[in-house]
Each structure stands twice: as C-alpha cells, then as structure tokens.
C-alpha cells in the first residue's frame, strides 16, 4: 500500500484517486458497524491525504473518512483542494454525509471541487460539491448576518 501521504504526484488520474480511496479502507477502525469507508483527498499541489472512518463506542465522537482526510491535510497546512474519492463496503455508491459536505464547503470551491463516489470494483460517479450541497452555508452567509 502507498504511504498515507503521497507527495509530488505530477498527474493524478481519477482512477488512481479512486484506487487510493479503496485501499484506505483497510485501515478503517469500525468495530461497531463493521462498515469500512476510505477517502483520498487531492490537494491543489498534488499531495494526496487518505482518511478512514474512525468509530467510537459512544457513536457521536465517530469521525467519517472524508473529514479524517481533510483534518489530516489541514493540520499540515493545506487549504486548497481539487477532489476527493470516497469508497465504502457497500456495493453501491456512498455519498458523503451532510457534516462532511459542510466541511468540504469550508475549504473548497463548490463549482470546481470534484467528489468521486467509488464502488468497490472501481466504478465511480463524479459530482461537483455544488451538485451535492446546493445552497451551502458559507462565510458569505455569515458576513450577511454581521451588522
């Protein structure tokens, strides 16, 4: 398996990013649901941060794979992102939850940020963040309320 942080990738294809999301699932900590999720987040400078779902017996502290990838990248100073691939154990496409979509909206341009939903066999669908989170609450909305 590739390292969790892959640096210096000059050209990342959708297929490569999808494969990294599938591979990330093996590190999932999901002893309660037994439902593994992996994500691979591509930064503007070509680095890839993999993330997995991390469960907790109390459930509410559980963290999704998408947010794990974002938080790893942000903790290392990254703020600009191009795409994320997400893969779960189901035989269907796994859409990001609302909280993960809102985290994406914090850091990504909704018109250009790509979300790849990946089946275990590698087939994927591609959406923009704007398609999956229309009317997102953003800094612009916050500024409208400040008087």
Q: What is the mean pLDDT of residues 22-31?
A: 98
Say if residue 24's pLDDT is above 70.
yes
pLDDT, position 90: 93
Say if residue 139's pLDDT is above 90.
no
pLDDT band at 80 (very low <50, low <70, confident <90, very high): very high
Using CA atoms, how far apart are residues 49 and 130, in angstroms rounded to an integer? 22
Q: Of the candidates 46, 49, 21, 48, which has an alpha carbon nearest to the alpha carbon of residue 36?
A: 21
Active site residues: 66
Which pTM does this prediction carry?
A: 0.90
């Amino acid at each position: 398996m590739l390292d969790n942080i892959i640096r210096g990738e000059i050209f990342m294809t959708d297929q490569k990013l999808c494969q990294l999301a599938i591979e990330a699932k093996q590190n999932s900590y999901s002893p309660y649901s037994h439902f593994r999720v992996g994500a691979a987040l591509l930064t503007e400078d070509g680095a890839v941060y993999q993330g997995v779902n991390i469960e907790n017996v109390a459930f509410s502290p559980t963290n999704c794979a998408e947010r794990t990838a974002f938080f790893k990248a942000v903790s290392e100073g990254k703020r600009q992102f191009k795409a994320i691939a997400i893969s779960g154990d189901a035989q269907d496409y796994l859409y990001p939850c609302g909280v993960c979509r809102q985290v994406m909206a914090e850091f990504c341009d909704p018109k250009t940020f790509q979300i790849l939903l990946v089946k275990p066999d590698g087939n994927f669908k591609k959406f923009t963040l704007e398609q999956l989170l229309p009317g997102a609450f953003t800094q612009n909305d916050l500024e409208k309320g400040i008087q």
